[in-house]
Amino acid sequence: MGLLKLPDSSLITYNLSFKEENGKIKGFSYSDMNGEHETKSAVVGKYDSEENKLEFREVEIIYTKSNIKEIDFCNVYFTGDLRKLNGKAEIKGTFKGYYDDLTSCIDGELVMQAAEKVKKRNEKFQKRVNRTNKVPDSIKQKINMSKMFNRFSKNQLKGGENLNIILKDKNIKLIIWDDQEADGDKIELSINDRKILKDFEPSTTKKIIPLEFIDPVNTIKIKALNIGNKPPNTAKIAIEAKDGQVIDVTSQLKVGEDVTFTFFKEKPKIQK
């Protein structure tokens, strides 16, 4: 977990998940996690364990909440240090940003720490806040580090949000379930505006729906029909491609709200 620091001192949350084999790395980056421009990208690079040097670059978008038809995406090219201390990793260095045509966009710094280390620091800070008498109870209630940590560790979709997914495979599996406790939530599922499930109640048993997309652009929409015993209306949704790629999110909706997944066979050209 970490932050991209831009020249104007603004910060963007940034997470990395990758595997290293024989000095080569391959994985994914997550920027603006659970924000309005959350984006997942594939990354490739290399790691020199003797020099503790790490290099990686974002090579393609997997999904984004941004308007994919209107925004030119700035890809991160990072060079810096990856240090492992007591089994924990820390990443620090600079990055340069480039558009797909390699035109420069924006530069900055990247600082990251292992999620476990961030979580432990948050827990210690929360305990100090809860124990002190110098912080009013009204303020303590607003300082909830566990909620802040969860925001950056769980993919969530709220009402009205649209997840744009670039997926070349025409065959996918749509999986829906309740990964907590089934509480009577009901949803409606539509694919390309055709209702597939009506009054469906997610349970701890996964509902698997094989799909074949023929059109160049396809949509899946999930709408909340009620609120069960524990608001809001929630469902765990996973999208599995034949190449093993998995996208999983949790929808959190009020009655009548919906979320949309828009699938593109290839990245749309920017409408300028």
pLDDT given at position 242: 85
> What's the pLDDT at 28?
96
Structure tokens at 118: 């961030």
Neighbouring C-beta atoms of residue 24, cutoff 10 Å: 12
CA–CA dist 75, 57 (Å, integer): 7
String of DSSP letters for 83-139? EEETTEEEEEEEEEEE-TT--EEEEEEEEEE-HHHHHHHHHHHHHHHHH-SSS-HHH
Determine whether domain 2-113 maps to CATH 1.10.10: no
Task: Give the per-residue pLDDT at 3.
Answer: 92
Output the six-digit token pair for 51: 């020099």
CATH for 158-264?
Answer: 2.60.60
**pTM of the entire structure?**
0.84
E strand segments, the chain: 2-5, 11-21, 24-31, 39-48, 53-64, 75-85, 88-98, 104-113, 156-158, 162-166, 171-177, 187-191, 194-200, 207-212, 217-224, 233-241, 246-253, 258-264
Q: For residue 55, what pLDDT is reported?
A: 98
Block mean pLDDT (10 aa), the chain, length 272? 91 93 96 93 96 96 93 95 79 96 96 66 54 55 47 78 94 95 95 97 97 96 96 96 90 97 91 62
- pLDDT of 90 reads 92
Q: What is the pLDDT of residue 221?
A: 98
Beta bridge partners of 164: 64, 262
3-state secondary structure of 256: coil
Which residue(s) pair with 5 in the sheet?
Answer: 11, 109
User: 3-state DSSP call for residue 226?
Assistant: coil
Distance of CA 252 to the CA centre of its chain: 15
**Residue 256 in tokens:** 């009548």
